[in-house]
Structure 1
Amino acid sequence: MKLTIHGAAQQVTGSMHLLQVGQYKILIDCGLDYERDHNVQLNENFAFRPEEIDVVVLTHAHIDHSGNLPTLVRRGFNGQILCTAPTAELSELLLLDSVNIFMRKEQTSRKHNRKRPGQGRQPLYLQKHVMDTVDRFVTIGFNRPFRINGDIELTFIPVGHLLGAGAAVFKVNDNGTEKTIAFTGDIGRKNYPVLNDPQPLPPVDYLVCESTYGGRYHTKDKTIEETLTEVIDRACIKESGRLIIPAFSIGRTQALVFSLNKIFSKGLLPPVKVFVDSPMASMATTVFRKHHSMLNGDAQDFYQKLGDEFEFENLTYIESLKDSRQVSNYFEPCIIISSAGMLEGGRIQDHLYNNIQNYYCTILFIGYCAKGTLGFRLLRGDPIVHIKDRDLAVYATIKKTDLFSAHGDHEDLIDTIKQQDSGKLKNIFLVHGETSSMQAMADALDSDGYKVTIPEKDLTYEF
């Protein structure tokens, strides 16, 4: 059995791991490498021959895990893509949105290179390639062993983080010897809105574990409801202003809407108008409703007592661009939830453009903003930011909370690993994190007798 880490090696994005059993090749995840996003060819060229991959196993829908699947298909992969049903449906939404992003970047590139024909930025893939990819999805339920072939069995174990996300656990007959290996994908946190807590993994011989929040801890002194109530009370009630919350359309927005629903249904605040301005968020919410049985006990109880978790009085889902623009003419206190979370495109830029110089506007960040993004610059405290070809002074109040992060922190990650017996777990491969995060986890695990490897990109490990 051989393992090669082709992506997310000593960095966060671009998850892509190759497991080879004899001549059979399994690719676990095929994500976009954001650090290579400036150069399409770097995401386009694989370190292996796509046509030689027998099957792909997808842990969850996020683009850093699924976003390069259409390229793999375009370059010759013709096998099945195994995942859960919600992962298949959410991946389709995200991959189609990626095509739109690619096309916008291509248009911008052509605009800037009018005098240099052929220098425009070509899209990595098109809608046709996404639909070809979607046709290859084969869905599997949680905790239901699926025999890939005579020697390999796959089971998805729920790990929270996102609807449908599952660790991929393989039981392998390797020349008459049974071996087990698990790939965590991304591990969620406990008591997260809508989603179930991560389920313990079965005992395995080898573990490929994410390390995004290694060495870091989430805030624990306040609950999500307490934090939101405090911010809304100040921004919308006491100051009679508006609260803008940039949020990713899939996962983060549903968690936020459910949290607001609970706050207003309990009467913790007077009614405030809430706009969800993201067509993709509306489509994703439909997927959440469809797979309602997969939501956590809190959401199930709420539904039984009060109805739809994602619908309440004064909540409006905005579809058309015309209606989106009309929000600027709504002068009563309100909450605007819009994507994208890092402010690098989407309708959120229109709302920022119209409100960044409004003293009675608060912008609440509920997710990570990568270095170089508009969100990063606002969080850094830049007094002037560039939005839609204009430099605008920042008069709005900027706030942040990490309580909506769907990633488990250092404690959650270590707890997940320590469910494994250190005497039986032969090796832990840390991926999907910065080197400092991996080292913090390695140091914590080493003292308890676990063997840890921080793998290099494209290096093959045989066991």
Structure 2
Amino acid sequence: MKLTIWGAARQVTGSMHLLETENYSILIDCGLDYEKDTWVEENEQFPFSPSEIDLVILTHAHIDHSGNLPTLVRLGFEGQILCTAPTADLTELLLLDSVNIFLSRQRKTRKGKRGFSTGPKPLYLQKHVMETVDRFVTIAFNKPFRINGQISLTFIPVGHLLGAAAAVFTIEENGVKKTIAFSGDIGRKNYPVLQDPEPLPEVDYLICESTYGGRLHKSTQSVEELLTETVNEACVKSPGRLIIPAFSVGRTQALVYSLNKIFSKGLLPRIKVFVDSPMATYATDIFRKHHQLVNQEAQEFYRSSGDEFEFENLDYIQDMNASKAISNYYEPCIIISSAGMLEGGRIQDHLYYNISNYYCTILFIGYCAKGTLGHRLLRGDPVINLRHRELSVFATIRQTDLFSGHGDHKDLVNFVKQQPQEKLKKVFLVHGEINSMESLCTSLIEENYQVEIAKKGITYQLD
């Protein structure tokens, strides 16, 4: 059995791992790699022939794990893609959105003399997404699925996102049974809506993410306490507005449910809440469709109080005219909109009209990469450039990591420590910046585990 890490090696994005037995090749995840200047060209060049891959396993829907699947299909992959049912639905939504982003970037590129775009061609089009979706085969959590006579797969819930799973393989070679697990992205306990990560069965090898290696979640408050305090400061004590940039899939649903609980308990007056993201509306419908997989608390809330994603003072905004009309709403309100890093989407409209408003608070609930508009605001830039205008920043800027869907350093260490040292032969660290990997590696070695920070393109023989 051989393992080659082809993506998310000593970086976060582009998860792609190749597992090979004597006569079968399995690709675990096929994500977009955002971290190179020539990322379109880089993502189009696979280090293997897509037609030689027998099967793909998808751990969850996020684009850094799923976003290059249509390219794989376009270039010759003809097999099935195994995932959970929520992952299939959310991935379709996110891949179609990726097509829109590709085409938008191409339209914004200046055209050449003959009217043809000089920008990069889209990695794939809608037809390639639909061809990819046709290959999805969904399997349930915690039920072994026989791939062939020698290989079986079990999906274990890991939180992080609805449908997210660790992939656990049992492989028999030459009469010897081996087990190997791919963690996917590991969530955190007590996250709104999502189930807690479940422990994995004992395995021989573990490929583990390391996103939050060396970092601990800072806040000692609960999500409800943080939101109640922030809304009270921004909208009650002073009659202003609270703008929350949030990813449409996952974060928005967690936010809406948390606000619903707060209003239901009477902790705040029923301030108007706008969810201004059509994609968030579609994603919320998927959460409703797979309601049996949300956590127990959310299910009990549904039984006692009704739909956790719907309440009296909540409006889901669809068309652009309704979105623009929010600017003329002069009562205190909460606006949830995407994208989370402020790099495009309807959030830029709300930012444009409110960044110089002393009575506006902007609450960041996710990571903002360097170079993004969100990062510039978080580092305290007094002026930003938006729509070719320089705008003074008078709004209050706040940030919390309470809505991060990743387990922190302690969670990652505890996830590995569920494995007995005498059974686990090696841990391979992926999906993290190098300093995060090194920190997690040091902690695991101190716990007497054999650990390796995986290198891209190196093939490891798993005896």
Report what 1:98 is aligned to.
98
Are 2:419 and 1:420 aligned?
A: yes
How far is the alpha carbon of 1:38 from its aligned partner?
4.0
List aligned pairs for 1:21-420, cutoff 5 A: 21-36=21-36, 38-111=38-111, 119-420=118-419
Residue type at the aligned position of 2:254: A
Distance 1:62 1:24 in 2: 26
Measured in 2, the distance between the counterparts of 1:390 and 1:91 equals 36
Tell me which residue corresponds to 1:14: 14
Shift of 1:414: 0.5
Where in structure 1 are there 5+ consecutive unaligned residues?
none
Cα distance change of structure 1 residues 220 and 382 upon mapping to structure 2, 3 Å threshold: closer
Q: For residues 144-183 of structure 1, what are the alpha-carbon distances to aligned partners after superposition, in whole Å with 9 as ceiling and x for unaligned?
A: 1101111100000000000000000000011221000000
Displacement of 1:116 after TM fit?
9.6
Name structure 2 gaps, 5 residues minimum.
none
Aligned equivalents of 2:220, 2:275: Cα separation in 1: 28
Residue by residue, what CA displacement relative to the aligned partner does 1:33-62 show, whole Å, maximum 9, x if unpaired? 010364311110001100000000000000
The 1:151/1:408 distance shift into structure 2, 3 A limit, reads same
Say which SS state the counterpart of residue 428 (structure 2) adopts: strand
- CA shift, 1:114, in A, is 5.9
Measured against aligned partners, the alpha-carbon deviations of 1:313-343 in whole angstroms (never above 9, x if no partner) come to 1100001011101100101000000001011
Could you report, residue by residue, the CA deviation over 1:211-268 in whole angstroms, capped at 9, with x for unpaired residues?
Answer: 0000100024111111111110010011100000000000000000000000010000
User: What do the CA deviations read for 1:163-212 (whole angstroms, capped 9, x no partner)?
Assistant: 00000000001122100000000000000000010000000000000000
Q: Residue 215 of structure 2: SS of its match in structure 1?
A: coil
Secondary structure in structure 2 of the residue aligned to 1:199? coil
Cα distance in 2 between the residues matched to 1:452 and 1:81: 29
Q: Which residue of 1 aligns with 2:459?
A: 460
1:284-319 CA-partner distances (Å, limit 9, x unpaired): 101101111111111011111111100011100001
Contact 2:219 / 2:400 at 8 angstroms: preserved in 1?
no
TM-score normalised over the length of structure 2: 0.98
How far 1:90 moved relative to its partner? 0.1
CA contact (8 A) 2:214 2:439 kept: yes
Distance 2:356 2:401 in 1: 25
- For residue 121 of structure 1, report the CA deviation from its aligned partner: 1.7
- Cα deviations across residues 330-375 of structure 1 (Å, max 9, x unaligned)? 0100000000101111100111011111111100000001111111
CA contact (8 A) 1:110 1:121 kept: no
Counterpart AA for 1:140: I
| Aligned residue identity for 2:160 | H
C-alpha change, 1:230 and 1:118, in structure 2 (3 Å) is closer
Q: 1:451 to 1:352 in 2, by over 3 A?
A: same
Mapped partners of 2:146, 2:385: distance in 1? 53
Amino acid in structure 2 at the alignment position of 1:126: L
Three-state SS of the structure 2 residue aligned to 1:284 is: helix
CA distance in 2, matches of 1:39, 1:94: 18
- 8 A contact 2:275–2:335 mirrored in 1: yes
The answer on whether the counterparts of 1:37 and 1:43 sit within 8 Å (CA) in structure 2 is no
Deviation at 1:110, TM superposition (A): 3.2
Structure 1: which 4+ aligned runs deviate by more than 6 Å? none
Q: Is the contact between residue 154 and residue 169 of structure 2 (CA under 8 Å) also seen in structure 1?
A: yes
